[in-house]
Amino acid sequence: MAKRPQRRDVPGDLHSTPNISKPRGYFSGNLETGLPSSRKYASLRKPPSSREINKANNLSKKIDPEQISLLIGKDWHLHYVTPLYKFSHSEIRTYSRQLSAFIAAEKQKGVPFDMGSDNIFRVNFSIILGIAEKEEDSEAVFIQIYAKQFFAIQGTTENVIWSGWLACVNCSTEYISSLPPRFTYFPLFCSNGPETMTAIVRTWFQKTFDCSFGNLTMNYSNLGWLAAIWTDCKQTVDFKYLKLSWTLPLRPPLDITYTINSEDVWELWNSVHKENDQITSEEMGQFMYSLESHFFRHFKVHLTFGELIEVSTSLGLVQKNGRIKFLSGERMPAILTLLTENAVLMMPI
């Protein structure tokens, strides 16, 4: 029987030439330098089987309520980010100026904007303390872009036309410690605002910090976790219903919206969930399976043949294509941890 090939990681400086590691027995060539392979790390890792949900925990304990209100109520578009090179939290004023200048330069170049042609844009970077959970996580950075009319009278207020934030919540310690020095890691980037502005901000980040972005999609199990977490909040925060949306691949495609009363879903959740702070993936799987089989019993439609597109409650809304809206700060750390892990797994390399 062939010996299982060993994988060798070659951590090295970005500037050194690739090393081929010494072959030992069977060897699967892994010519990687610089950043350690996240995909290899991801493929080695099973999805976590249990999730710690601290019931007493919501963000308002640690963060200024004003700053929380920045995060809540807006429709965020999720992206994953590769590590940033030479990003420093103390230089954020410089970054604000640079980004404003970059936006003005892009406007000059004639890049299409859909925000009106005579606006001045001002950028503000700020740090939100308290989102990052572990010591190794970098503190979250919040970006706002204000627009003001060029010919405006003194004293007119600026409007926020775009906001975004970079966050790292409960990211795995091994991965962060294996990054070469001078790299900062924010796996999750959320943006709200016109797409053209998002593209410009991404281009600036790519040019300045040599990172790359990609869209984050939520798969079935992530949406299931969020449904479970939000259902679990029923004791502390009441919500009326849990709504799940499916699309079945028929001709023409059939959209199903499955709305469940919160008392019923709470009863179901209680019968599945043990009374403690952890939610295991078996419980989550059992919960989703019960909902789907109940639907099958009544309508004779197998929901598992379709795709789960959206999960929403009055605590928040999340869609498969990577859009999320928080309507309450409840259980945010757990949700942000889930999103961060998803971002880390989706990162290429």
Partner 1 sequence: MSVLKLFHKHPELNTASILLVETERQHQDKLAEAILAAQRSFNVNVHLADSLPLPTKNEANRPRIDLVVFIVNHFNSHSLELTKSYLQHLDVMYFLGRLCFLVSDARSAKSDRDILHAVREMAAQYSSPLLFTELQTEQGLATAADRLLVFTKVSAGFVPGVSSLFLNTLTSCSHPMESSPTKLSDTD
Q: How far is the CB of 235 from partner 1 (least distance, A)?
A: 29
Part in contact with partner 1 (CB under 8 A); list of ranges 44-52, 92-100, 105-113, 147-155: 44-52
What does the alpha-carbon distance between residue 224 and residue 281 come to, in Å, rounded to a whole number? 9
Check residue 8 for interaction with partner 1 (CB under 8 A): yes
For the chain, the maximum distance between any two Cα atoms, rounded to a whole number of angstroms, is 80
Do 115 and 147 form a contact (C-beta atoms < 8 A)? yes
Give the CB-side neighbour count of residue 289, counting CA atoms within 13 A: 7
Of 3-11, 112-120, 136-144, 203-211, the window that binds partner 1 (rule: CB under 8 A) is: 3-11
Rounded to a whole number of angstroms, the minimum distance from the CB of residue 342 to partner 1 is 9
For partner 1, the closer of residues 98 and 221 by Cβ is 221
- Among positions 276-305, residues that touch partner 1 (CB under 8 A) are 302, 304-305
The rounded distance, in Å, linking the Cα atoms of 344 and 322 is 14
b/e per residue, 159-178, with b = 16+ CB within 10 A?
eebbbbbbbbbbbbeebbee
Which residue from 30, 67, 124, 219 is in contact with partner 1, where contact means CB under 8 A?
Answer: 219
Secondary structure letter of residue 252 according to DSSP: S
Contact assessment for residue 188 and residue 218, using Cβ atoms and an 8 Å cutoff: no
Position 174 contacts partner 1 (CB under 8 A): yes
Pick the binder of partner 1 from 126, 178, 208, 286 (CB under 8 A). 178
Any contact of residue 43 with partner 1 (CB under 8 A)?
A: yes
3-state secondary structure of 179: coil
Which residue spans within 150-186 are E strands per DSSP?
A: 159-167, 183-184
d(CA 22, CA 20): 7
Asked whether position 314 contacts partner 1 by CB under 8 A, the answer is: no
CB of 227 to partner 1, least distance (A): 15
Minimum distance of partner 1 from residue 305's CB (angstroms): 5
Non-local (6+) Cβ contacts of 341 within 8 A are 48, 170, 171
251 binds partner 1 (CB under 8 A): no
User: Which one of residues 3, 15, 22, 251 is an interface residue with partner 1 (CB under 8 A)?
Assistant: 22
Using the rule CB under 8 A, give the single segment among 37-45, 203-211, 266-274, 324-332 that binds partner 1. 37-45
Q: Is residue 153 a contact point for partner 1 (CB under 8 A)? A: no
Which of 133-150 are b and which e, b meaning 16 or more Cβ less than 10 Å from the residue's Cβ?
beebbbbbbbbbbbbbee
Window of 143-151, 214-222, 226-234, 251-259 that interacts with partner 1 by CB under 8 A: 214-222
Size of the site for partner 1 (CB under 8 A): 27
Residue 1 engages partner 1 in binding (rule: CB under 8 A): yes
Residue 46 beta carbon to partner 1: minimum distance, rounded to whole angstroms:
6
Is 4 an interacting residue with respect to partner 1 (CB under 8 A)?
yes
Contact indicator for 102, 200 with CB cutoff of 8 Å: yes
Burial class (CB in 10 A: 0-12, 13-18, 19+), 110: exposed
Binding residues for partner 1, rule: CB under 8 A, are 1-2, 4, 6, 8-9, 21-22, 36, 41, 43-47, 174, 178, 217, 219-221, 302, 304-307, 345
